[in-house]
Chains A and B, each alone.
Chain A
Amino acid sequence: MEANLFTSMLFATVVAGTPLVIVALGLLVSEKSGVLNLGAEGMMAMGAVAAFAVTHETGSPWLGVLAGMGAGMVMAFLFGILVLSLMANQVASGLALSIFGVGLSAFVGKPFESVALAAVPPIRLPFLADIPVIGPALYNQQALVYFSWALMWAVVWFLYRSRAGLVLRAVGEAPGSAHSIGYPVIRIRYLATLFGGAMAGIGGAFLSVFYTPLWVEGMVAGRGWIALALVVFATWRPLRVIVGAYLFGGVMIAQLFVQGSGMEIDMPSQVLSSLPYWATIVVLVIISRNAATIRLNAPVSLGQPYRADT
């Protein structure tokens, strides 16, 4: 395989994997606090449309990213009201958030369906980008790609090295005990949920402002759900999230691989497009096959409502 081809594939894999990295890390933090938010798809869709609209109106992709983040947080806050304050079922509420977010994004995004944004130029990191083969693929990327790497280390540090992260994990493992020694369980869960929403919004923004850059109804195309599956696949560990996300990124650009390989395969494009979804299923099966793996790694209170009866 030519070096050039390898470089462009690596580049495309990282780009395709980046929104998954960002969204899945956000979901991971909220799940570590015990909140299962199945609304990722809706939060991403709202983030994508808000970011696109603001970028289109102001011309600034960074204001767009902020707007995407804000939209994701508003959605997460709605979810928080339902499941944290009103103690509604987390599975049903997450579904509601997804249905609502996808619908609302289609509605508010209608006027933007036929417009395109100027492509945002990548940021070239000096010296690193000069490394042969991998340099141009990894270090001549969009700023949000670098952000996703920083985010991973930040999440690792936060969860396993900081006091606040310890408290957050305690809330996810044993909310009753955390409450009894004086930690505000609900407030911590709100913050973790909002963080998940913010990251889902940024992930959506990456799709509509940097990746395509277009707004099309349904453009999130299941990435929110794939990110949820990734967290399970990673057994709630941040480093594995990034590995999984790039594996999926690779699967998502399978089309490029097939074309690049020079093979003459007569395969309908739909088969290649369906690969990420098959991959998600396969990955879930592999990781869930051993029930103990999930039981040992999932936050104990994941999905359970909590109410301090005092």
Chain B
Amino acid sequence: MLLKLEARPEPSQLMAYLSPLLAVALTLIGGLLVFSALGTDPLEGFKVFFLNPVKDTYGVSELLLKATPLMLCAVGLAVGFRANVWNIGAEGQYVMGAVAASGMALYFIDSESAMLLPAMVLAGAVGGALWAAIPALLRTRFNANEILTSLMLVYIAQLAVSWLAHGPWKDPDGFNFPQSKMFADSALLPMLIEGTRLNFAFVIALGLLAAGYVFMQRSFLGFQMRVAGQADAAARYAGFSATRTIWIGMLAGGATAGIAGMAEVSGPMGQLTEHVSNNYGFAAIIVAFIGRLNPVGIFFGSLLMALLYLGGEQAQQYLNLPSSISKVFQGMLLFFLLGADVFIHYRLRLKGGK
């Protein structure tokens, strides 16, 4: 081998920001290769996948709509990831948030109160946070690995929503489809732009991104959590509570994921269905990493990831490819990012060229 990795004296700040861009570039190249391997004209595939979805205002509004749950989930997850709290069950917390908010909407289905929506947002946050509290409790009380417990709870949440949609909450007039009644108008999020589906949840997401920024970069508690993530011995020495770090990390992710779930049922779906789980919770993990666990980065990361979702739908429609191609690109993106990150701490040197 002619090249070797050499440790940098200090981590490169520049590379920390360049690495996501490098990963995006590599994913695009990978995309071209995938399209040609599938016998699709790569340039045509590229255009359909990455450009078509955003060619008009409606497309952009759809992009922002798709990015909203990703922003929400990712900003909460980032709070935990910074402190090495590995909540990877955001998908389940998202589902439980959707369930709690739907419960509220269905219980007050005749209500026209303006308080219903705020109550649903709150219910979503609490539902998600409660689901995240289980792994937090098991970790702090019994030392059980939160990666595995939070993930198991994803499957359980999906089964729970399937039971509700097939059983007690099934719409009696719904032709036996596994879905609830349509929500009343008072339980639907108001639209931001006439003629599009972009709704108020986008504003909530922006607000939480800002709140996340203040918490992580400007508050003492956020600082403690950062220290816990980067040097947990130092954090313990300074007397920062590890238990509190875990609780905050888990609950933040659960609450925002729950709000994302609420936004989905109360926005584009308008009802609870069996298919509320749409992989946002997992995609948000990628968003959090590609955004460098930073709210500004997460904003752009979720736009990119939303584009991958929309591109997959376009590819299905116009290129006759399965829409799961999105997940391939999402996975590739994270792979390349993790690989590119090596250059933050190391640089390439020619061997023997000392």
Q: In chain B between 302 and 342, which residues have their CB closer than 8 angstroms to a CB of chain A?
A: 322, 324-328, 330-332, 334-335, 338-339, 341-342
Asked if residues A104 and B331 are in contact (CB atoms below 8 Å), the reply is yes
Answer whether A281 and B144 are a contact pair too, CB < 8 Å, given A86-B342, A100-B332. yes
Q: Which residues of A contact B330 (CB under 8 A)?
A: 99-100, 103
Taking the closest CB of chain A, its distance from the CB of B334, in whole angstroms, is 4
Q: In chain B between 150 and 171, which residues have their CB closer than 8 angstroms to a CB of chain A?
A: 151-153, 155-156, 159-160, 162-163, 166-167
Q: In chain A between 254 and 299, which residues have their CB closer than 8 angstroms to a CB of chain B?
A: 268, 270-271, 273-274, 277-278, 280-281, 284-285, 288-289, 291, 294
Asked if residues A86 and B155 are in contact (CB atoms below 8 Å), the reply is no
Q: Does A96 contact B (CB under 8 A)?
A: yes
Taken together as a complex, chains A and B put the C-alpha atoms of A89 and B84 apart, in Å, by 11
Q: Which residues of B contact A67 (CB under 8 A)?
A: none
Taken together as a complex, chains A and B put the C-alpha atoms of A81 and B7 apart, in Å, by 17
Q: Which residues of B contact A270 (CB under 8 A)?
A: 159-160, 162-163, 166
Asked if residues A281 and B149 are in contact (CB atoms below 8 Å), the reply is yes
Query: Which partner residue on chain B sits nearest A293 by CB separation?
Result: B143
Q: Which residues of B contact A289 (CB under 8 A)?
A: 142-144
Taken together as a complex, chains A and B put the C-alpha atoms of A106 and B327 apart, in Å, by 9
Taking the closest CB of chain B, its distance from the CB of A238, in whole angstroms, is 20
18 contacts between A and B (CB under 8 A): A81-B339, A82-B339, A99-B285, A99-B286, A100-B332, A103-B330, A106-B327, A107-B322, A228-B148, A232-B148, A271-B159, A274-B160, A277-B153, A280-B152, A281-B153, A285-B144, A294-B143, A309-B7
Closest 7 CB pairs of A and B: A103-B327, A100-B331, A106-B324, A110-B322, A270-B163, A96-B334, A86-B342
Contact of A88 among B134, B138, B166, B342 (CB under 8 A): B342
Taken together as a complex, chains A and B put the C-alpha atoms of A82 and B145 apart, in Å, by 23
Asked if residues B159 and A273 are in contact (CB atoms below 8 Å), the reply is yes
Q: Which residues of A contact B286 (CB under 8 A)?
A: 96, 99
Taken together as a complex, chains A and B put the C-alpha atoms of A270 and B95 apart, in Å, by 15
Query: How many B residues touch the partner, as a band?
Result: 35 or more
Taken together as a complex, chains A and B put the C-alpha atoms of A271 and B328 apart, in Å, by 32
Taken together as a complex, chains A and B put the C-alpha atoms of A222 and B149 apart, in Å, by 12
Q: Which residues of A contact B341 (CB under 8 A)?
A: 86, 88
Taken together as a complex, chains A and B put the C-alpha atoms of A278 and B144 apart, in Å, by 13
Taken together as a complex, chains A and B put the C-alpha atoms of A211 and B330 apart, in Å, by 30
Q: Does A225 contact B (CB under 8 A)?
A: yes
Query: Which partner residue on chain B sits nearest A278 by CB separation?
Result: B156
Asked if residues B335 and A100 are in contact (CB atoms below 8 Å), the reply is yes
Taken together as a complex, chains A and B put the C-alpha atoms of A99 and B167 apart, in Å, by 31
- Other than the given A96-B335, A99-B327, A100-B332, 12 more pairs (CB < 8 A) read A38-B147, A78-B335, A82-B338, A88-B341, A91-B147, A102-B327, A103-B327, A107-B328, A278-B156, A281-B134, A281-B138, A284-B144
Q: Which residues of A contact B163 (CB under 8 A)?
A: 268, 270-271
Query: Which partner residue on chain B sits nearest A41 by CB separation?
Result: B151
Across chains A and B, the number of contacting residue pairs, with CB separation under 8 Å, is 137
Q: Does B131 contact A (CB under 8 A)?
A: no
Taken together as a complex, chains A and B put the C-alpha atoms of A86 and B336 apart, in Å, by 11
Taken together as a complex, chains A and B put the C-alpha atoms of A110 and B320 apart, in Å, by 11
Asked if residues A87 and B342 are in contact (CB atoms below 8 Å), the reply is yes
Query: Which partner residue on chain B sits nearest A83 by CB separation?
Result: B338
Taking the closest CB of chain A, its distance from the CB of B345, in whole angstroms, is 8
Q: Which residues of B contact A309 (CB under 8 A)?
A: 7
Asked if residues A89 and B338 are in contact (CB atoms below 8 Å), the reply is yes
Query: Which partner residue on chain A sits nearest B337 by CB separation?
Result: A96
Q: Mark A70-105, 1 if CB is under 8 A from B, else 0.
A: 000000001001100011110111011101111110
Q: Which residues of A contact B160 (CB under 8 A)?
A: 270, 274
Taking the closest CB of chain A, its distance from the CB of B271, in whole angstroms, is 19
Q: Does A1 contact B (CB under 8 A)?
A: no
Q: Mark B122-146, 1 if CB is under 8 A from A, else 0.
A: 0000000000001000100011110
Query: Which partner residue on chain A sits nearest B289 by CB separation?
Result: A92
Query: Which partner residue on chain B sits nearest A226 by CB separation?
Result: B152
Taken together as a complex, chains A and B put the C-alpha atoms of A294 and B142 apart, in Å, by 12
